[in-house]
């Protein structure tokens, strides 16, 4: 595997490919159908990515609402600006979820969809979301829990690799832990909705997952490089013979800041 850290351009390209898959489009539609941003609301989309999320939100809030997209990565934001150039209600700013460049209590709704997994200080991020929402306003947050990620693993090698994947705990249980962490930040949790994704072939998102899992295997003592290559070959053979299956659940939390 390459040791080169990803450049901003790589990040832009990666998120463009992953977030434009059919699976992600379905997931996005499902999430916003549950959250139902209202017409004319002011929405803060944190970790907005390359603008697919912003364009979907614009359909709900209409031209009377506003959407501010914040992302830590300038190149990803450039993609969002390109994608949303014809949406007058959308604007973008570079910023970090732990130090948002917006005023206190200035939004009706804040969305952090598939972002918290990348943040080391979850408490600081949730406190920031709480700060920027108006009293009575809502936050919508999604996160996964690796224990819900089940796959077709017919070989012993694949099962062992899966155990390594689940044992790594850097935010791997965030999806369930948010039920405690949102109230700690001051929110009242109103709804938790499971969002299942099932994939039966390797797409760009699964390719990214294979890369993540390779990294975990490389860092563990359980697999040498030959075994890792063989494990990846197992996955690709399943795909070629129509036997690939991966299913995971993200948790969507809708929580309110008390009046
Ligand atoms: C998986 S993408 C999700 C994009 C979008 N929310 C969606 O679901 O379509 C994660 C995004 O979060 C951004 N991100 C990662 N860490 C961040 C942070 N600390 N603050 C703000 N954005 C961050 C990344 O640059 C990336 O664009």
pLDDT digits (tens, 9 = 90+) for 187-210: 999 999 999 999 999 988 899 889
Asked if residue 159 belongs to a domain, the reply is no
Q: Is the model's pLDDT at 83 over the cut of 60?
A: yes
* Most ligand 1 atoms within 8 A of CB, residue of 49, 75, 81, 120 to mutate: 49
Q: What is the DSSP string of 157-218?
A: HHHHHHHHHHH--SSTTHHHHHHHHHHHTT-EEEEEEEEEEEESS--HHHHHHHHHHHHHHH
5 DSSP assignment: P
Asked if residue 237 belongs to a domain, the reply is no
Helices (H), the chain: 8-19, 22-35, 52-61, 74-83, 122-132, 156-167, 174-184, 204-219, 225-240
Q: Is the model's pLDDT at 5 over the cut of 80?
A: no
Asked if residue 218 belongs to a domain, the reply is no
CA distance 158 to 103: 49
Domain that holds residue 175: 8-146+170-198+249-256
**Confidence bin at 250 (pLDDT 50/70/90):** very high
Residue nearest to atom 26 of ligand 1 (CA): 49
Q: Is the model's pLDDT at 1 over the cut of 50?
A: no
Chain position carrying tokens 């979850």: 122
Asked if residue 90 belongs to a domain, the reply is yes
CATH code, domain carrying 64: 3.40.50.150
CA distance 112 to 104: 17
Asked if residue 158 belongs to a domain, the reply is no
The pLDDT value recorded for residue 30 is 94
The pLDDT value recorded for residue 8 is 62
Ligand 1: centre distance to CA 73 (Å): 8
Domains held by the chain: number: 1
Ligand 1: centre distance to CA 28 (Å): 14
Q: Is the model's pLDDT at 242 over the cut of 90?
A: yes
Asked if residue 241 belongs to a domain, the reply is no
The average pLDDT across 112-123 equals 95
CA distance 253 to 259: 19
Q: Is the model's pLDDT at 48 over the cut of 50?
A: yes
The average pLDDT across 21-45 equals 94
Ligand 1: centre distance to CA 114 (Å): 7
Asked if residue 210 belongs to a domain, the reply is no
Ligand 1: centre distance to CA 257 (Å): 23
Asked if residue 204 belongs to a domain, the reply is no
Q: Is the model's pLDDT at 167 over the cut of 90?
A: no
Residues with CB under 6 A from ligand 1: 15, 19, 46-49, 52-53, 70-73, 76, 96-97, 113-115, 118-119
CA atoms within 13 A on the CB side of 32: 20
């Amino acid at each position: 595997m390459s040791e080169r850290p990803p450049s901003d351009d790589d990040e832009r390209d990666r998120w463009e490919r992953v977030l434009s898959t059919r699976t992600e489009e379905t997931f996005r539609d499902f999430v916003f159908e549950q959250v139902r941003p209202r017409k004319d609301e002011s929405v803060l989309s944190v970790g907005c990515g390359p603008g697919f999320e912003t364009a979907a939100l614009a359909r709900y809030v209409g031209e009377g609402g506003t959407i501010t997209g914040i992302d830590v990565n300038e190149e990803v934001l450039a993609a969002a600006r390109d994608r949303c150039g014809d949406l007058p209600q959308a604007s973008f700013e570079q910023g970090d979820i732990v130090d948002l460049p917006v005023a206190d209590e200035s939004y009706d709704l804040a969305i952090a969809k598939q972002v918290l997994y990348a943040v080391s200080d979850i408490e600081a991020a949730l406190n920031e979301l709480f700060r920027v929402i108006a009293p009575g306003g809502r936050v919508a947050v999604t996160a996964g829990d690796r224990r819900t990620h089940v796959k077709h693993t017919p070989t012993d090698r694949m099962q062992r690799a899966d155990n390594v994947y689940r044992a790594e705990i850097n935010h791997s249980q965030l999806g369930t832990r948010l039920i405690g962490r949102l109230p700690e930040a001051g929110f009242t949790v109103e709804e938790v909705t499971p969002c299942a994704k099932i994939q039966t072939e390797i797409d760009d998102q699964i390719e990214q997952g294979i890369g993540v899992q390779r990294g975990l295997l490389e860092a563990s003592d359980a697999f040498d490089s030959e075994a890792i290559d063989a494990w990846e070959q197992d996955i690709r053979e399943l795909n070629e013979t129509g036997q690939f299956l991966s299913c995971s659940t993200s948790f969507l939390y809708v929580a309110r800041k008390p009046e």
